[in-house]
């Protein structure tokens, strides 16, 4: 049984601001914060990334669940036009 979940991430428009982190002078975090469900325990968690800093293509990394501490296999795909999708599966 696959626990893969793919979500499409839409870039923030100018003026939209996430209150999660303050990384820029304007007080906004200009990356993406995507809420996903842990493929092990089902609890929600956040992935933070900046698609503007990622080259087009596929990027993979492992992130542990903040609740059950099990590893997620995260794949971020960035298209040539900057659209991105996130896939989270069991590592």
User: Cα(71)–Cα(55) distance, rounded to whole angstroms?
Assistant: 24
Q: Against a cut of 0.85, is the pTM above it?
A: no
Give the distance from CA 39 to its chain's centroid.
14
Confidence (pLDDT) at 47:
87
Nearest 5°: the CA angle 6, 2, 82 is 20
pLDDT under 70 in the chain at which residues?
A: 1-30
Residue 29: predicted pLDDT: 55
List C-alpha distances in Å: 40 to 26, 46, 61, 69. Answer: 37, 15, 17, 10
Handedness of CA 84, 30, 11, 40 (dihedral sign): positive
């Amino acid at each position: 049984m696959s626990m893969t979940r793919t979500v499409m991430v839409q870039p923030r428009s100018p003026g939209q601001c996430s209150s999660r982190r303050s990384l820029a002078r304007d007080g906004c975090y200009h990356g993406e914060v995507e809420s996903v469900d842990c493929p092990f325990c089902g609890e929600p968690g956040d992935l933070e990334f900046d698609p503007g800093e990622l080259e087009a293509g596929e990027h993979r990394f492992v992130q542990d669940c903040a609740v059950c501490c099990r590893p997620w296999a995260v794949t971020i795909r960035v298209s040539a036009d900057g659209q991105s999708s996130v896939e989270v599966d069991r590592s």
